């Protein structure tokens, strides 16, 4: 049974985190409210442990994709930044063009009255543009809009898959890669928007999905991640038990 001191502690925590938010971390209707707080903190730890995995996946993927895109779409003219991503004419479909424009808005700034890009204050490089495009843009390049259509076609897929994933045991299909990356994009968005992921059916499978994709692009980075990742510990029963005990003790002090 919760003590008055524990009830007051949890009530003050709910006041700043919001009771509605913490109730999303309830496993049963009858468990004490401090359990919600403990599970919330476990969810935060899981999200934190996923960050290095998702970070490396995104960085390695976008650099692999940029090299493949640069080879597939040679260009002579650009709008602002010397990159195939900002070329004239664009190799991107409408949604990709819009993503690039929004990235340039972040880099250049915009005129609030007209919405036009401001004149750049320095020379922006392809690397600046690549870093300003979000994970959704890069996963969107695996859409069927970029699938090879004819013998004269220079679109990315399927021939570019072996260059993005040179260490895969067999060349993966566009459909399988697109599906896996979209699952991870959804996971990433939930993590970055502070949403619950503790109920996902198999967090270890999510970890393995990331590690395998990284292995296929860079075995060296895959080895680094396996040597340093904390998610395996954080999702273990022992970690949960120790965290739960700490929260329980803090709530009764």
Q: Is the pLDDT of residue 25 over 70?
A: yes
Q: Return phi, psi of residue 44, to 5°.
A: -60, -45
Q: pLDDT tens, 161-218? A: 999 999 999 999 999 999 999 999 999 999 999 999 999 999 999 999 999 999 999 9
Q: pLDDT tens, 89-139? A: 999 999 999 999 999 999 999 888 888 898 888 899 999 999 999 999 999
Taking the model in full, what pTM does it have?
0.92
Number of domains making up the chain: 1
Domain extent, residue 145, equals 4-251
């Amino acid at each position: 049974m919760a003590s008055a001191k524990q009830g007051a502690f949890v009530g003050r925590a709910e006041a700043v985190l919001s009771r509605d938010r913490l109730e999303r971390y309830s496993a049963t209707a009858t468990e004490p409210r401090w359990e919600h707080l403990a599970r919330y903190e476990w969810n935060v730890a899981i999200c934190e442990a996923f960050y290095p995995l998702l970070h490396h996946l995104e960085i390695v993927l976008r650099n692999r994709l940029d090299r493949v895109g640069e080879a597939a779409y040679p260009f002579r003219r650009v709008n602002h930044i010397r990159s195939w991503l900002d070329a004239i004419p664009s190799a991107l479909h409408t949604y990709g063009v819009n993503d690039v424009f929004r990235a340039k808005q972040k880099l250049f700034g915009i005129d609030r009255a007209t919405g036009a890009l401001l004149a750049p204050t320095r020379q922006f490089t392809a690397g600046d543009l690549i870093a300003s495009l979000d994970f959704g843009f890069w996963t969107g390049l695996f859409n069927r809009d970029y699938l090879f259509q004819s013998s004269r076609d220079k679109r990315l897929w399927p021939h570019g898959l072996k260059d993005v994933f040179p260490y895969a045991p067999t060349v993966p299909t566009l459909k399988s890669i697109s599906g896996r990356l979209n699952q991870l994009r959804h996971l990433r968005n939930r993590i970055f928007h502070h949403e619950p992921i503790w109920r996902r059916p198999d967090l270890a499978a999510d970890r393995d999905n990331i590690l395998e994709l990284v292995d296929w692009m860079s075995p060296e980075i895959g080895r680094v991640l396996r040597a340093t990742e904390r998610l395996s510990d954080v999702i273990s029963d022992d970690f949960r038990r120790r965290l739960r005990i700490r929260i329980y003790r803090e709530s009764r002090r």
